[in-house]
Structure 1
Amino acid sequence: MTQTSLTLADVQEAAKRIEGAVVRTPTMHSQTLSSITGANIWLKFENLQFTAAYKERGALNALLQLSDEQRERGVIAASAGNHSQGLSYHGTRLGVPVTIVMPRTTPVVKVMQTESVGGKVVLEGETFDDAQAHARQLEKELGLTFVHPFDDPHVAAGAGTVALELLEDGPDIDCLVVPIGGGGLISGMSTVAKAQEREIEVIGAEAQLFPSSYNSYKNEDLPCGGDTLAEGIAVKQPGKFTQSVIDRLVDDIVLVDERHLEEAVSLLLQIEKTVVEGAGAAGLAAVLSYPERFEGKNIGLVLCGGNIDTRLLANVLLRDLARSGRLARLQITLQDRPGALSKVMGEFEAHNVNIIEIYHQRIFTNLPAKGLITDIECEARDREQLEALVKSLSDKGYKVSQVELN
């Protein structure tokens, strides 16, 4: 295989190499998500891999093609995410020393996860670019083999094995919606899809805050940067090899905003009872964002990873409850006198809305000295019940506003 080619045969050979060493994850049709989106949704649960991400496939395929000398010397990579764990796990299993260079800003939990599966972590620099530059330096100094997280035909071929399984288990699938970061997954999957006898559309889903592949594909110049939930696909520069495959085989790339990423993560947990990171939910987020584009299609979605911080997941779920009207924060202006708050509490009780927290603000307001603002966090059955409470309070003369989320 050269740096300019990737074929179905390459992916099929990768599948034979890694067979039995990675999980052949299930593909399941989702009746509920199909009903919600208006499309027929099949899910490929790559979050059920041992390291909870598809990255194992490409890492293992690359490791199995090393020479004896390369295996003995070891491999190196720059990664603070799923690639580091996949490479470390399978490298350790095969007896290949693995060094991972991470920025000093990497959360401790990611360092610990990589070390727990056998990787040696080196912290260097403040950014990923700093870490990658140091990894390249160590590659030369120590004679190690650099394994790129995505811009490598062996890695992309391993990732493409996801499509072999998905299309075998879902023979009616006519559209793949695939998360895009550096492009390794979609370049491998599109290679398989476009080699099928039937026509299969391939759509990339990229975070709106990091539209690097979109820019290249569409010849645009949208800015890249920000705190995205989909940090696994937050790549400022797509791979040269992978982008060449994308430009040739992918039918379109769409951008998904943070709200739809959060909604997708929440839906997958609530409906499918499965934990998915932001990047892993990007495909579903795209279908939610553009329902008219995907209506009626038989869609295969890859839940490509499940490594999400538990506190972040909790925030996502609570924010989704707030957007649906089940949680709310109401700001109510009161007169500062005995019994004022008690009367408001009576309205909550009458509408069977549960109060979670109450915050009184007397000093830092624009109200007269005898006025106060009360913020009440509450829990309702649904938006209609909440709106009935707000209307009742307003009808009784209270000034009520609701804190809205973006």
Structure 2
Amino acid sequence: MSTVLVIGAGGVSSVCVHKMAFNPDIFSSIHLASRTKSKCDAIAASVKERCGVDVATYEIDAEEVPAMVNLIRKVQPSLVVNLALPYQDLPIMDACLEAGVSYLDTANYEPKDEAKFEYHWQWAYHDRFKQAGIMALLGSGFDPGVTSVFTMWLKKHKLKTIRTLDILDCNGGDHGQHFATNFNPEINIREVTAPARHWENGEFVETPAMAHKVEFDFEAVGPKNMYMMYHEELESLAKFNPEMERARFWMTFGDAYITHLTVLQNVGMTSIEPIKYKGVEIIPLQFLAAVLPKPETLGETTKGNTNIGCIATGEALDGSGEKTFYIKNICSHEAAYEETGNQAVSYTTGVPAMIGSAMMVQGIWSGEGVFNMEEMDPDPFMDMLNQHGLPWTVEELDGPVEF
């Protein structure tokens, strides 16, 4: 039984808070805060209707450390769950350090003025969290998060070493919009338009954004074009699996999405450089994000499935030579919406955020310092995925998959 303070009020937060409320034996008191209190109130009303649980709500600017410290001290949680924007990771970690409370997030830090998301800023907090006797768990979403746990589960139960790893993220859902992103538009577009990077022979290799396209037939979705891009779990997976020869991340995008994004990029709407418009300084990408449909509004119209998993090849644990395994989850947009009022992209991140929180508040995962998902025992997390809406399957393939 524990008190948690959740920061952020988007679709992922909505799913996480709903799932926490469905588990009152683990989360006895849930508090929710964001810059816009009305968004918190809407989530709280939905939770009350669906779960019969009261959620306390607050207005907070997560970048104002003194205000965050005051709120944490007022609520007195055992864990702060950061589901706000990646820019706000470090201020929230600072507040947790000052208040002496453990921390969890789903995405690593990214500076506002540079589309570069890396772990080194947060890894630098390790000694301070250790000295404070508290824990920070980084990246407890799906990718990063579940994909990291999938990989380490394979390494614990199937493969002695991993030679190659491919992470495949497919959203086969159709939301009926001309152009929309299924999670925060600003973060989504910054990720997609950044140069691709993959791990190969001990270093990261950079290639142009969206330059490498492959068709793959996804179960419960069908054939989709997927593009190689950079994603933060490649950094932590390479760190904790030094024997890996190659690791890549792939994400599917429809032709219409690519066409719209290309046009927007060509006319400067994806830029993060400030410009002056009628005497007011604006950032084009932030303006674009403001006019696009909000991800949390897409749940009712989105139909279809997501399919996210890992294909790993390496030396078999039983000494039978090299083997390849494919471990994945398939999630229904319609089922996610029926349960929580949110589409599956929010669901597949919000549920792991709840599970990571449950691991910490119950002491199943513990430590002093800053930790990635790869450092934890994957088994209890994998068990909870099966129990709380993200069941997974694993199969042995005939051999390595070449893209």
Does 1 or 2 have the higher relative contact order (CA < 8 Å, sep 6+)? 2
TM-score, normalised via structure 1 length: 0.27
Q: Relative to total residues, which structure has the larger helix share, 1 or 2?
A: 1
TM-score (norm 2): 0.28
Bigger strand fraction: 2
